[in-house]
Amino acid sequence: MHAIKCGSPSSNIYSHTNTSRKTIQHTHTHTFSHTVVEIRVERENLKSVSMAETGVFEEIIEGDVFKYYTDGEWKKSTSGKSVAIINPTTRTTQYKVQACTQEEVNKVIESSKIAQRQWAKTPLWKRAELLHKAAAILKEHKAPIAECLVKEIAKPAKDSVTEVVRSGDLISYCAEEGVRILGEGKFLVSDSFPGNERTKYCLTSKIPLGVVLAIPPFNYPVNLAVSKIGPALIAGNSLVLKPPTQGAVACLHMVQCFHLAGFPTGLISCVTGKGSEIGDFLTMHPGVNCISFTGGDTGIAISKKAGMVPLQMELGGKDACIVLEDADLDLVAANIIKGGFSYSGQRCTAVKVVLVMESVADALVEKVNAKVAKLKVGPPEEDCDITPVVSESSANFIEGLAKDAKTKGATFCQEYRREGNLIWPLLLDNVRPDMRIAWEEPFGPIVPVIRINSVEEGIHHCNASNFGLQGCVFTKDINKAILISDAMETGTVQINSAPARGPDHFPFQGLKDSGIGSQGITNSINMMTKIKSTVINLPTPSYTMG
């Protein structure tokens, strides 16, 4: 697969054959829209040793199966089974990880409990020191970890490196923020409440919850893992990580960086396996004291089953981009490209519906189309803008949304094209509320445009969604922007920029089906702690006289 500019009429995606490797070619015929697309997929049967499996990472793999991590050691599951990780680009098995058993999960959680008790007694400065060390080791090994991201989730090469570096910075920030906010408590006196004398002094501090279960999603397996691990550890918790299947190997490498930093035995564990075998078992485990999950609908099911533990959930969005008549259309177009198409739209904060005033819609669509034509489509190794989506089922779902829009009369600004999991970027104009794409989250490179006749219409569409993660508004009138932001039922509204979670210390939260609680470093640290009070009762009232 070679990179192609998506507007190039002579694009030929079918010419590549790699003669240095044994390949079997499968040909599918794919029909949709005006085109008949022949798909040729190369199946690589020879496994090559990559830098991700050598050096300091040698011990995390045996044969061709990566091990899981518990009690400070890399282990093979007694199940003797493994889970295959399919490379979205080649659609062949890239890696294998252990299929852990429920019995192994029990042992992991038991070790976590024991380790946590000791860790809670470890001075804050020492916890911070270890986190800084892990951050440095992670950044030092950004190349092999990024290589895993490229192979497992088809994230463009440069973005993969950025994810690892960003994650190192996030861990360091957790360490710094943690020593500040956990190093302070409150002192309250009783006579501020009616009827009380100053006979009670209340001292509060933040204490850890215990065992935190972290479940990150495939699209940021490293960054959204450390956004849970960093706060959990600095706050004195132990951590059990259940990585997504796709992204698991990058996670295992990241865990090795924590191992190399020298964290106490049992404090961090990473279990891999089938969701059907250990998913519910983990989330309903009585030994788990907190769950931090990022992903899709599964989060709703988890929250119903989890019981009385604090939950932090980030479950996706249908982020609206409201464009007013006075907006800088070049800025809007650039942000629709960045917000809608980066990582092929596989971001919960992607621009997922553009709501543009009819009077400027033609001009905006033209500008966006010109930019879509310049997007590079192809494999992540070549750092293309649009790379294959994570799985065949995801590609099929995205195609279903496109087909539905076609049937119902949306304007296809580009021809619909797909090869395997690779879907060409597509702007759909004249989308109407009866189309699925107006409401559903494609998690792919398709951006719908709905033309509106009033700002109220745009706000109404945004608020009628079940989701409420982020939204954005483009206008030069800051007063209008604030009013619109207040009217939008979303956790965050960006003014004159596309939605985004970062910088990672900003609060990040969704309303409605988009989530529970708030993330961002400070909020996550607070969420992973409880308040403990000690009240000193005096025999007689005592007032500080100065």
Q: Which residues are catalytic?
A: 314, 348
Minimum CB–partner distance for residue 424 and ligand G3H (Å): 21
Minimum CB–partner distance for residue 443 and ligand G3H (Å): 9
317, 437, 429: which is closest to 372 by C-alpha? 429
Site for ligand G3H in 51-90 (CB under 6 A): none
Do 321 and 339 meet the contact criterion of CB atoms below 8 Å apart? yes
∠ CA 309-251-271, nearest 5°, is: 55
How far is the C-alpha of 295 from the C-alpha of 214, rounded, in Å? 11
Identity of the amino acid at 351: V
Q: Applying CB under 6 A, which part among 237-245, 281-289, 347-355, 385-393 lies near ligand G3H? A: 347-355
Q: Applying CB under 6 A, which part among 142-150, 345-353, 405-413, 488-496 lies near ligand G3H? A: 345-353
> Is the CB of 208 or the CB of 231 nearer to ligand G3H?
231
532, 531, 528, 530: which is closest to 231 by C-alpha? 528
Do 83 and 260 meet the contact criterion of CB atoms below 8 Å apart? no
Minimum CB–partner distance for residue 47 and ligand G3H (Å): 30
Q: Applying CB under 6 A, which part among 284-292, 411-419, 445-453, 498-506 lies near ligand G3H? A: 498-506
Phi then psi for 198, rounded to 5 degrees? -85, 75
| Position among 219, 335, 475, 526 found at the interface with ligand G3H (CB under 6 A) | 219
> Is the CB of 133 or the CB of 347 nearer to ligand G3H?
347
Distances 92 to 25, 163, 244 between C-alpha atoms, Å:
12, 24, 18
Distances 271 to 52, 239, 256, 437, 520 between C-alpha atoms, Å:
19, 11, 13, 36, 25
In the block, which residue shows the tokens 């209340």? 202
245 interacts with ligand G3H by CB under 6 A: no
Distances 53 to 48, 59, 89 between C-alpha atoms, Å:
10, 8, 20
Cβ atoms < 10 Å from Cβ of 218 = 26
In the block, which residue shows the tokens 């550890």? 233
| Position among 52, 239, 410, 500 found at the interface with ligand G3H (CB under 6 A) | 500
461, 472, 471, 396: which is closest to 435 by C-alpha? 461
Taking CB atoms, the residue at the shortest distance from ligand G3H is 348
| Position among 502, 533, 535, 541 found at the interface with ligand G3H (CB under 6 A) | 502
Between the two ends of the chain, the Cα-to-Cα distance in Å is: 77
Minimum CB–partner distance for residue 508 and ligand G3H (Å): 7
> Is the CB of 272 or the CB of 346 nearer to ligand G3H?
346
Minimum CB–partner distance for residue 100 and ligand G3H (Å): 26
Minimum CB–partner distance for residue 518 and ligand G3H (Å): 13
Peptide bond into 503 cis (omega under 30): yes
356 interacts with ligand G3H by CB under 6 A: no
85, 102, 20, 6: which is closest to 386 by C-alpha? 6
> Is the CB of 220 or the CB of 439 nearer to ligand G3H?
220
139 interacts with ligand G3H by CB under 6 A: no
| Position among 348, 354, 398, 435 found at the interface with ligand G3H (CB under 6 A) | 348
How far is the C-alpha of 522 from the C-alpha of 231, rounded, in Å? 8
> Is the CB of 183 or the CB of 502 nearer to ligand G3H?
502
347 interacts with ligand G3H by CB under 6 A: yes
In the block, which residue shows the tokens 């939950």? 311
501 interacts with ligand G3H by CB under 6 A: yes
> Is the CB of 119 or the CB of 467 nearer to ligand G3H?
467
Do 311 and 293 meet the contact criterion of CB atoms below 8 Å apart? yes
Q: How many residues bind ligand G3H (CB under 6 A)?
A: 8
> Is the CB of 77 or the CB of 349 nearer to ligand G3H?
349
Minimum CB–partner distance for residue 336 and ligand G3H (Å): 15
Do 213 and 240 meet the contact criterion of CB atoms below 8 Å apart? yes
∠ CA 118-121-123, nearest 5°, is: 125
In the block, which residue shows the tokens 């599964």? 298
| Position among 66, 95, 119, 220 found at the interface with ligand G3H (CB under 6 A) | 220
> Is the CB of 147 or the CB of 314 nearer to ligand G3H?
314
503 interacts with ligand G3H by CB under 6 A: no
Q: Using CB atoms within 10 A of its CB, is residue 202 exposed (0-12), middle (13-18) or buried (19+)?
A: middle
Q: Applying CB under 6 A, which part among 42-50, 57-65, 274-282, 499-507 lies near ligand G3H? A: 499-507
Minimum CB–partner distance for residue 484 and ligand G3H (Å): 21
> Is the CB of 40 or the CB of 338 nearer to ligand G3H?
338
How far is the C-alpha of 76 from the C-alpha of 60, rounded, in Å? 10
> Is the CB of 74 or the CB of 443 nearer to ligand G3H?
443
Q: Applying CB under 6 A, which part among 113-121, 194-202, 343-351, 523-531 lies near ligand G3H? A: 343-351
Minimum CB–partner distance for residue 445 and ligand G3H (Å): 14
Minimum CB–partner distance for residue 389 and ligand G3H (Å): 14
Q: Applying CB under 6 A, which part among 296-304, 341-349, 377-385, 413-421 lies near ligand G3H? A: 341-349
Do 163 and 220 meet the contact criterion of CB atoms below 8 Å apart? yes
> Is the CB of 201 or the CB of 506 nearer to ligand G3H?
506
Sign of CA dihedral 261, 264, 265, 268: negative
How far is the C-alpha of 94 from the C-alpha of 210, rounded, in Å? 35
Minimum CB–partner distance for residue 441 and ligand G3H (Å): 10
349 interacts with ligand G3H by CB under 6 A: yes
Do 332 and 472 meet the contact criterion of CB atoms below 8 Å apart? no
> What is the binding site for ligand G3H (CB under 6 A)?
219-220, 347-349, 500-502
